[in-house]
Amino acid sequence: MKKLSYIDSVHRDGRIWNLSVMVLLMAFPVAVCVLFGVMPDWSSLAVGLIATAPMYWAVGAIETVTFVPMLGAGGSYLGFVTGNISNLKLPCALNALEQNDVSANSEEGEVVSTVAIAVSSIVTTVIIILGVILIVPLTPVLQAPALQPAFDQILPALFGGLGVAFVSKNWKVALAPILLMLILFVFVPALNAGTVGIMVPVSALFTIAVARILYKKGLL
């Protein structure tokens, strides 16, 4: 039997685990229907899916094209299973790749990205477990008005720190998504935190297009 290369084994195991997770996710609503003897209103379900599913299909397709080159194969399989890519997994993976000076499309980068996302997932799970256990005694502290401004700045601080490192590398390319997002969020009031899942891929594709134009003009 021919021994699989590292990347081939990543794709094999990634497909197996992703399909397994899909089955598990669908198993819960099926189990609820069977145990309680209830079925969804199929017409209402179809109407709801028609209204929302195309958006998620589009976001899923765009995120696959956008995130996979940055995360590598192993990191992408693990990231899409564990979720919260743009807020947690992507910053962790990019920072790890940056610190080790490797590219996501190299074999070393594949390993670094996958390990970073795995550690992020483990840490997130541990924190959630601790939060569930300590939520009652910590509630007065977490809801203290004095701490609220700090909690409001957690994500901006995280992305600000990463942004400075990447913007300083090539400010000409970085300027494009910054200006695009500022213009959109200032002049399109409908955009808010709930649209981040759509706007991140849009920003990435816009940046790729601008970078290509600048490269063709000899400005990069």
Sequence-distant (6+) residues with CB within 8 A of 71 are 79, 85, 89, 90, 93, 104, 113, 117
- What is the distance, to the nearest Å, from the Cα of residue 169 to the centroid of all Cα atoms in its chain? 22
Q: How many domains does the chain have?
A: 1
**Nearest alpha carbon to residue 8 among 74, 61, 63, 57:** 74
- Cα separation values, 169 from 86, 157, 166, 174, Å: 20, 19, 5, 9
* Cβ-count burial 74-85 (b if 16+ within 10 Å, e if not): bbbbbbbbbeeb
The answer as to whether 50 is a domain residue is yes
The answer as to whether 23 is a domain residue is yes
From CA 206, how far away is CA 214, in angstroms rounded? 12
The answer as to whether 147 is a domain residue is yes
From CA 137, how far away is CA 115, in angstroms rounded? 33
From CA 135, how far away is CA 145, in angstroms rounded? 17
Q: Classify residue 200 by burial, with Cβ atoms within 10 Å: 0-12, 13-18, 19+.
A: buried
The answer as to whether 203 is a domain residue is no
Task: Report pLDDT for 193.
Answer: 64
Q: Output the pTM of the full model.
A: 0.65
The answer as to whether 165 is a domain residue is yes
The answer as to whether 204 is a domain residue is no
Question: With contact defined as beta carbons under 8 Å apart, do 104 and 116 qualify?
Answer: no
The answer as to whether 216 is a domain residue is no
SS3 for 27-64, per residue?
HHHHHHHHHHCCCCCHHHHHHHHHHHHHHHHHHHHHHH
Tokens matching residue 146: 């004095």
Which helix (H) or strand (E) segment is 202 a member of? Answer: helix 196-216
The answer as to whether 191 is a domain residue is no
Residues of the chain with pLDDT under 70: 1-2, 162, 165-166, 192-197
Which residue range forms the structural domain that includes residue 29?
6-169
